[in-house]
Amino acid sequence: MQEIAKEYDHRLVETKWIERWDDSLYYFDWKSDKPPYIIDTPPPYPTGSFHIGNALNWCYIDFIARFKRMQGYNVMFPQGWDCHGLPTEVKVEELHGITKNEVDREVFRELCRKLTSENIKKMRETMKRLGLSIDWSNEYITMDPSYYRKTQVSFVRMYENGLIYRDNHPVNWCPRCKTAIAFAEVEYETRETSLNYIHFEGVDIATTRPELIPACVAVAVNPEDERFRDLIGLEVGVPLFNYRVPVIADDEVDPCFGTGIVMICTFGDKQDVRWWKEHGLPLRRAIDRDGLMTGIAGKYAGMEIERVRDAIIKDLKEEGLIYKEERIEQNVGVCWRCKTPIEILSEKQWFVRIEHEKVLDAAAKIRWHPDYMMVRLKNWVESMEWDWCISRQRLFGTPIPVWYCKRCGEVLVATEDELPLDPTVDAPKRACSCGSLEFEGEEDVLDTWMDSSISALAVGGWLEDVFIYPTQLRPQGHDIIRTWAFYTILRSIALTGMIPWEEIVINGMVLGEDGHKMSKSRNNITAPEEVMGKYGADAFRQWAAIGGSTGSDIMFRWKDIVAASRFLQKLWSILRFSLIHLDKDKAPYERPQKLSTVDKWLLARLNELIESVTADMQSYSFDEAMKEIRSFAWNTLADDYIELVKSRLYAEDSNGRESALYTLYTTMDTLSRLIAPFMPFFAEEMHSYLNEGSVHAREWPRVDRDLLDEESIEKGELVRRIVEAVRRYKSENKIPLNAPLRRVEIYTSVDLDLEDIKGALKSEVELVNPDTTLEMKAVGIKPRMDVIGPTYRKEARKVADAIERLDPEEVERVISDGGKVEIEVDGKLISLDSSSFEIEMGFESRGERVDILEVSGVKIAVMR
C-alpha cells in the first residue's frame, strides 16, 4: 500500500520531473538501426516570448515525437532559432537609443547577437516548463557560422546552377523599413481613399495616386472602347510636369473604372509592372528608397509621399485640373511588419528563380494533413508572377558571399571552401578575371527565409558525414504555407532534387476567448506561462490536444483549462485508490489463469481504447485521442469498473482478488503510457508509483486481440447496466446507495458472474430462469381527488380514507367484472365506479411484492 496526497499538486510534480529528467533520453542516435523519424521543427523568431500560438504548435510536435519514440522510432525533435531579421535590429536601436548607421557595422551586429542569445535563453525555459521532449543535442541557431555556412553554400550552388541571379527589377519596397521584401511578406488591408478625376492635356483620367503623376510613362485605353479608339497612337500632356506620353491600347484596361483611361506609372502596382514590361515603356523613378520624391518630381523633390500627395492635389485644384473626387475602398499592399503601404521600386537585387511546376510536382508527392491545405500552396504558386527577391538592405542577416571588382565591376561569388565569410570583412582568395585584387564586398544580407528554408536539410545532416533525407515530418502553421513551406520545397528540389519531408501537418491559429485573433489592441492575449502557473503544463497540453482538429483555428477558453485540471485530479484520485491495493514490488502483475467477467470486460474495453487512440495518433487526430482517454478513465474505469470490483479488492479472501489486481495494474500501467504524449509530467509521476524507470522509455501499448472478446464485452456490459439500473432505482426511491436490498433477481439465461453485482449492490443476488412467470396483481388503490373532491366536498377526505382501506385485489376483481365498489361513510353506503380511484398493479415473486426493472431485455426484480 502506497500513500499519496489527496489533492494533485502540479507545481510539486512538474518541478520535480523538470529537475530529474535527463535530456539525453531524447537524443537522436545517428548510428541507430531503428527507423529514423526526423521532424523539421519550426525555428521560431527569438523575441524572448514563446507565445500561445508557438506553444500550441510545439505541443502538437511533442505529441507526435513522444508517440513515435514509444513506437520504436529513432526520433529527432530538434530545436532551431531563426535569428536574423528586422525586428531584432529595431529592438536593438530602441534599447540602446541608437540607429544602425550611428555605430560600426560589426558592433551593431554584435548587439543583435547578444539580444538574440538572451531571448533564446528565455524561450528555452518556457519550452522546458511545457515538458517538450526536445533533442537539444541537435539545436541549431541560424546566426551561428556553423549554420549560416550552409545557407551560404546553398546560395553558391544555386548561383552556379543558374537559379540565383542579380538584376535590375521592380521589387516591393518598404519605405519605413528601408528594405526590399518578398511578395509573401506583403499583406493586404482594405483602406478608404479618394479617386481623383484629373484633366490631362487631351484626355481625362482617374487615379488614387496623384503623387505618381511625375512617374507617368503612358496612358492606356481598352481597344474595344469606341470612345477612345481615335486616341490610340497619339500623345497627351501630363499636367504640372509638362511632358508628353503615348496613348496605348491594352485589353486589361477596364472601361467601366473611372474615366476608362488609365495612367501607367513606374510603378503604382503590379499591373503597372506588367504594362511596363509588355509595352517596353521607359522608367521614371519618382520615389526613392527613403520614400522621398526624386529630382524628376521638380519642386516636389525631397518631399515625403503623404505630403506630396496633398501638395499635388492642392496645385491641381488651383489650376482647375481636378474636376471630381469620390471616396472608394481599395486593397492596399502593406509591409508585414510595420503595416506601411509598400512601393514598387526598380532596384538591383538578388533573386531566386521560381520553377513553378517543379514546386507543385514536389508538393503533390508530400502527404498533407489536412489534405485540403495543399490547395493554399497551389493557389499561391500559381499566383506568383515575379521571382523571389532574396536580398535585404539590413545588417543583421546572413552575408551574401559576393564581391564586386572595383576596376571592372565583375561579380565574384565565393567558393565553398571560403565559407562562412562576411564579404565586408573578408577578402576573396583569388583575383578578378581582369587581374585586379581590389574588391567591394556586398553589403546587403539574405532574406531570413533563406536561412529557415534549408532547415530540413540542416536537421537531416546536409553537408555532414551522415545525411538522412528526406525528413519524415514538417509541422507548421497555415499562416506560413506560402513562405516557409513554399520556400523549403523550392530549395530542397533545387539543392537535392528531393522532397524535404514525407508529411506535413498544419496547425491553426489560437483565438482569444472573444473569438478573435489574439492581439494587444484587443487585450485578449493569454501567455502560456500564466496558464502553467495556475494549472500546470499538463492542463495546458490537454487544451492543446482537445481544442480542435488539426488545421482548424482553436479558441482559448479558461473553462477548458479548468476542465483539464479537473481531469488531472480525477486521474490522481483513481491512482490514489489503486495504490491502496497495488504493490510496486510485485509489478508487473502476472495474469491469473482465470479472469472474472468484469475484468475481461474492462480489458476488452482497454484494448479497444489502445486500438482507437493508436489510430488517432497516426492520423494526427489528437482531439479524438484525448477525448477517448478521458471518457475511458472517467466513465469506464472510475464510474463503472472500480465501483464494481471494490468489494473484491478489499476482500483479502476473495477468489477473484488476484484477477482484479492484475486488471487494475494492467489498466493503470497502460493508461500511464497512453497519456504520456499528452501529459508527460503526470504520466511520469503515475508510472513511478507503478514501475521502475521512465514511462517515456517504455513501448507504446499493443492491442491484445485475444482480449477483444465480444462475449466478454456483452456479459460485462450487461453486469454494468444491471448495477447502474439498480443504483438509479435506489436513488429515485431515496434509498442510500450503500443500503442493502432484501433480494435482487435477474431473469436471464446468460451465465453471469454475480460476485461483483453482489458487491456493488451490497445485496443478495440470484439468477432466475427467464421463462419463470412473474405474477402481476393489484397492490394498492389511489383515490382520485380531482373526481372525489367536487362530488363529495366536505366528505371527500373520509371517502378517500375509506377507498384506501379497501382490499386492492377484491376491488380489481369487482371492477373487472363490470361492477361498482361500495363503501360506508358516516353510516351511508356510497357506490363508486373506477373513475374515482386508480388501481396500482405490481408484481410478486415467491409471494412477495417486487419492483421490476428492465435492462437490455433482461428483467430485474427488486425486493426492498
**Rounded Cα distance, 88 and 119, in Å:** 10
**Rounded Cα distance, 263 and 200, in Å:** 10
Residues 312, 306: contact at Cβ < 8 Å? no
Helix, strand, coil percentages in the chain from 3-state DSSP, rounded to 5: 45, 20, 35
Q: Using CB atoms within 10 Å of the CB of residue 593, give its burial: 0 to 12 exposed, 13 to 18 middle, 19+ buried.
A: exposed
Beta strands in 439-486 (DSSP E): 439-441, 445-446, 471-477
> Hey, what's the torsion of the CAs at 555, 556, 562, 564, to 10 degrees?
70
The three-point CA angle 698-701-705 to 5° equals 150
3-state secondary structure of 736: coil
Q: Quote the cell numbers at residue 412.
A: 565574384
322: part of which helix (H) or strand (E)?
Answer: strand 322-335
Helices and strands in the chain, H and E counts? 25, 33
- 53-92 CB burial, b ≥16 within 10 A, e <16: bbbbbbbbbbbbbbbbbbbebbbbbbbbbbbbbbebbebb
Q: Which DSSP letter does residue 273 get?
A: H
**Rounded Cα distance, 289 and 444, in Å:** 14
The residue whose grid cell reads 504520466 is: 683
Residues 526, 185: contact at Cβ < 8 Å? no
Residues 219, 263: contact at Cβ < 8 Å? yes
Residues 6+ apart with CB under 8 A from 780: 808, 839, 840, 842
**Rounded Cα distance, 2 and 658, in Å:** 18
**Residue 385 CA from chain centroid, whole number:** 31
Sign of CA dihedral 645, 651, 655, 661: positive
Note the maximum CA span of the chain. Answer: 141
**Helices marked H in 497-596 — which ranges?**
528-535, 537-546, 558-581
Closest CA to 352 of 481, 173, 171: 171
3-state secondary structure of 263: strand
520 is in an annotated binding site: yes
Residues 747, 859: contact at Cβ < 8 Å? yes
109: part of which helix (H) or strand (E)?
Answer: helix 105-129
> Dihedrals φ, ψ of 705, to 5°?
-65, -20
Query: Around 623, how many Cα atoms within 13 Å sit in the side-chain half-sphere?
Result: 13
Q: How far is CA 502 from CA 40, 117, 615, in A?
A: 11, 32, 19
In SS3 terms, 1-37 reads as CCCCCCCCCHHHHHHHHHHHCCHHHHCCCCCCCCCEE
Residues 675, 652: contact at Cβ < 8 Å? no
Taking residue 433's Cβ as centre, other Cβ atoms within 10 Å add up to 10
Sign of CA dihedral 212, 215, 221, 222: negative
Residues 584, 690: contact at Cβ < 8 Å? yes
- Which residue ranges are tagged as binding site for ATP? 520
- Which residue ranges are tagged as binding site? 520
